[in-house]
Structure 1
Amino acid sequence: METFVLWLKYLFLGVVQGATEPIPVSSSGHLIIAQKLLGLKQNGLSFEVLTNSASLIAICFIFRQEIGKLISGAFRYLLTRKAEYRSDFLFCVYIVIGTVPAAVAAALFKDRIEEIFSSVHTVSIGLLVTGVALWLIRNLRGRKLDGDLSVKDALLVGLAQAVALIPGISRSGATVIASIAVGMKQETALKFSFILYIPISVGGIVLGASDIVNDPNRAQMAIPYLIAFLTTLVATYYSMRWLMGIMARGNLKYFSYYCFAAGILLLLFL
C-alpha cells in the first residue's frame, strides 16, 4: 500500500510538472509547493532531469516542423547565401544569443539561487511578479515576425529567461512576456520562447545526467520516476496545445488572475 501511495504521489508530480511547464505559472514553483504538500523532498537533480527531459521531448515533437525548417534553412543559407533562407539563419543565431544569459547565470549561480530562493514564500512573490507582468502586456499586439527580430530583442528575451531561474518566476511566462514586450506577434513570441527553451533544457539535461547515473536510489525509484516521466510527457503535450490556443486568442490575462490568486493564497496559508 505504501508503494502504491508513492506511485500516486509521483504521478501527481508528473502531472504538475507537465501541466505547468508550458504555461506562464512557473513549473518549478508549483513543484516546490506540490512536494511540500505531499511530504516529498528530492535529493539531487535526478527527478528534475527526468521530468525536464519529458517536457523537452513533448515540446520538440510539437514544434518539430518549425525546428526542421529552421535548421534546414540555416544550413542552406550558409551553403548558398540565398536571401530566402536568411530569416531562418538569423532566427537560429538569435536563439543562440538568447540562450547565453541564462546559460551563464545557470553555470555561475543556479545552485546558489535555488539554495536562497527555494521556499514557498519566494514562490508566492514570484507568482505575483509574473501576474503583474502578464497583466501589463495583456493588450499588446506586436508586429514583428520571424524575419524582423534583432540582436537586442534576443538579448532582452534571454535576460528574461535568466531571471526565470528564480523559483516562482515562470520561464515560459518571462520569455513570452519579454517577446511580446519587444514587439513580437503572438505566434512569433510563442515560437521564439519555446525554441529558446530547447538549448537551455538540453544543457541542463547533459549537465545533470551524472546525477541519474550516480543516484544511489536509482533502482528503488525506477518505477516512480518512470511514472513521473510518462505523465509529464503527456501533460506537457496537452498543456502546450492548450497554451497555443490561448495565445491565438490573446487571452494571457487569465493567467495573470491565476498567478495573483495563487500567490496571495500561498502568502496567507503556507
Structure 2
Amino acid sequence: MNEFIELIKYLILGIVQGFTEILPISSSGHLVLFQHILNLKQPGLVFEMFTNTASFLALFIFFSKDIIHLIKQTWSFVIKGDKEAKNDFFYVLKLIVAIIPIGIVGLLIKDHLDGFKTPLFVGLALLLTGSFLFYIYKNRNENNLNEEITFKNALVIGLIQVAAVFPGISRSGSTIIGGLFQKVSLKSLLKFSFLCYIIISVPTSLLSAIELSNATFEINILGYGLAFLSTFVATYFAAYLLMKKIEVRHLKYFAIYCFTIGLVAISSHLFF
C-alpha cells in the first residue's frame, strides 16, 4: 500500500511539472510546494532532470515542424548563402540572445538556490508573478500588436527571464510579461518562449548529467518512469491549450491562481 501511495505522489508531481512548466505559474515553485505537501524529500536534481527531459521531448515533438524548418533555413543561410532564409536565421539568433542572460546567471548562482526553495519564498514569488500578470491583464491593448520579435524584444525578454532562476517566478510568465510590455502578440511570445525552453534544456540537461555522473543515488525506477510519462503528457496538453485557446484576457485567471497559491504557501509557512 505504501508503494502504491508513493507512485501516486510521483504521478502527481509529474502532472504538476508538466502543466506548470508551460503555464505562467512557475514549475519550480510548484515542485517545491508539492514536495513539501507530499512529504517527498527524495526528488532533487535527478528528478528534475527526468521531468525536464520529458517536458523537452513533449515540446520538441509539438514544435517539430517549426524546429526542422528553422534548422533547414539556418543551414541554407549559413552554408548555402540563401538570402531568403535570412529572417529565419535571425529568428534563431534572437532565441540565442534571449537565453544568454538566464544561462549565465543560472550557472553563476545555481549552487546558491537551495536556500530559496521554501514555501515562504515561493509564496512571495508567486504573489509577484500574479501581480505582474494582473497588471498586464488590466492594461492590455490587443490592437496593433507586433507578430515579429525584434532583437531588442529578445534582449528585454531575456533579461526579464533571469528572475525565473528563482522558484516561484515563472519563465513563460516572464516571457509573456516582457513581451506584452513591448506590444508583441501573445501567440508570438508563447512560441518564442517554448523554443527558448527547448534550446536551453539541452545544455542544462547535459550539465546535470555531468554533475550526477560521479554521484551515488537510488531512484524509484517505476516512480520516476511514471513521473516522466505524466510530465510528457501534461506538457504536451498544456502546450496545445496555450497555443490554441489562451488569449491575453485569460491572464487574469493565472494571476488569481498565483495569488491564491502564494497566500496558501505563505500561510502554511507561518502557521503550520
What residue in structure 2 maps to residue 14 of structure 1? 14
What residue in structure 1 maps to residue 132 of structure 2? 133
Report the CA distance between 1:50 and its aligned residue: 0.4
Find the residue that maps to 2:246 and give its secondary structure: helix
TM-score (norm 2): 0.91
TM-score (norm 1): 0.92
Report the CA distance between 1:215 and its aligned residue: 5.1
Give CA-to-partner distance per residue, 1:123-180, whole Å, 9 cap, x none: 111111111111122214363223xx33221111111222100100011111122122
Q: Which amino acid aligns with 2:2?
A: E
What residue in structure 1 maps to residue 257 of structure 2? 258
What residue in structure 1 maps to residue 190 of structure 2? 190
Q: Which moved more, 1:182-191 or 1:98-107?
A: 182-191
User: Is 2:233 aligned against 1:234?
Assistant: yes
Cα distance 1:48–1:193, how it changes in 2: closer, same or farther (>3 A)?
Answer: same
Cα distance 1:228–1:215, how it changes in 2: closer, same or farther (>3 A)?
Answer: farther
Report the CA distance between 1:228 and its aligned residue: 0.7
CA distance in 2, matches of 1:144, 1:82: 26
CA distance in 2, matches of 1:144, 1:79: 30
What residue in structure 2 maps to residue 170 of structure 1? 170
What residue in structure 1 maps to residue 78 of structure 2? 78
What residue in structure 2 maps to residue 144 of structure 1? 146
Deviant stretches of 4+, over 6 Å: none
What residue in structure 1 maps to residue 45 of structure 2? 45
What residue in structure 2 maps to residue 28 of structure 1? 28
Q: Are the counterparts in 2 of residues 26 and 171 from structure 1 also a CA contact under 8 Å? A: yes
Q: Are the counterparts in 1 of residues 49 and 208 from structure 2 also a CA contact under 8 Å? A: yes
CA distance in 2, matches of 1:67, 1:80: 19
Q: Which amino acid aligns with 2:20?
A: T
CA distance in 1, matches of 2:216, 2:92: 39
Report the CA distance between 1:242 and its aligned residue: 1.4
Report the CA distance between 1:84 and its aligned residue: 2.8
Report the CA distance between 1:35 and its aligned residue: 0.5
Q: Which moved more, 1:91-100 or 1:239-248?
A: 239-248
Percent of aligned pairs with the same residue? Answer: 38
Equivalent runs, 1:201-212 vs 2, <5 Å: 201-212=201-212
User: Is 2:123 aligned against 1:121?
Assistant: no
Q: Are the counterparts in 2 of residues 135 and 256 from structure 1 also a CA contact under 8 Å? A: yes
What residue in structure 1 maps to residue 216 of structure 2? 216
User: Is 2:72 aligned against 1:99?
Assistant: no
| Aligned residue pairs, count | 266
Q: Which moved more, 1:39-48 or 1:234-243?
A: 39-48
Report the CA distance between 1:245 and its aligned residue: 2.9
Q: Which amino acid aligns with 1:47?
A: F
CA distance in 2, matches of 1:30, 1:246: 23
Q: Are the counterparts in 2 of residues 44 and 211 from structure 1 also a CA contact under 8 Å? A: no
